[in-house]
Homo-oligomer: A and B are copies of this chain.
């Protein structure tokens, strides 16, 4: 049971155990340990790949997890949708549950034992990488508010550490070093991303449009892109240009 007094429990051992974890099975065990330590119903880490692939790890029941994947709830789940637009950790109460799909989802989640309260920490990386660290529980609002106030900072740190570990075991998810662009190529990509036409970019850079085309083509080649839009998208997601 969750106590309203919410005495600060020591965080260090949790983080240390987490940092010692080796392999995905250990992460699974770590989430259970965190759950038991804080005496909440569930602790979940949820990764959403840049390609839309998912990876989850936590204490939700298998049936709920399977159902979630099977129904592609990723695109309905208000927790995902809400956190994806937010900077900071968020209490589930502050999310938008107004749509019909969202309420149906919520009802089904509670039915599967997810809990009526929740707190999720969004974690973002380059290339649109996104993960969530979530704690959920069943209790009344005041109890939950007290608990989250007391453990908010802990959860941020645990989320970070958990994410670091999860990335460590999945090197595929760390972005590979891509070939860099020349200054002029960066200029070209940047202005194109800002919506300038080729003629406008050439004018802005005070070069002929022919020259500009050479840059765009070489950038496209370096980025392995099939067209200008693709090249700009890749340059952005690789952080080669900042728009």
Contacts and interface: CB of A to CB of B under 8 A. Distances in A.
Interface of A: 15, 48, 50-52, 74-75, 80-81, 84-88, 124-130, 153, 156-157, 160, 163-164, 167, 174-175, 186, 192-197, 225-230, 232-233, 236-239, 242-243
9 contacts: A50-B243, A52-B242, A75-B186, A84-B242, A85-B239, A87-B125, A128-B242, A195-B227, A233-B243
A224 to B, nearest CB: 9
A93 B243 CA distance: 26
Contacts of A51: 243
Contacts of A239: 81, 84-85, 128
B230 A195 contact: yes
A130 to B, nearest CB: 7
Given A84-B239, A87-B125, 5 more contacts: A50-B243, A80-B242, A192-B229, A193-B229, A194-B230
Contacts of A237: 236, 243
Contacts of A74: 242
Contacts of A194: 230, 233
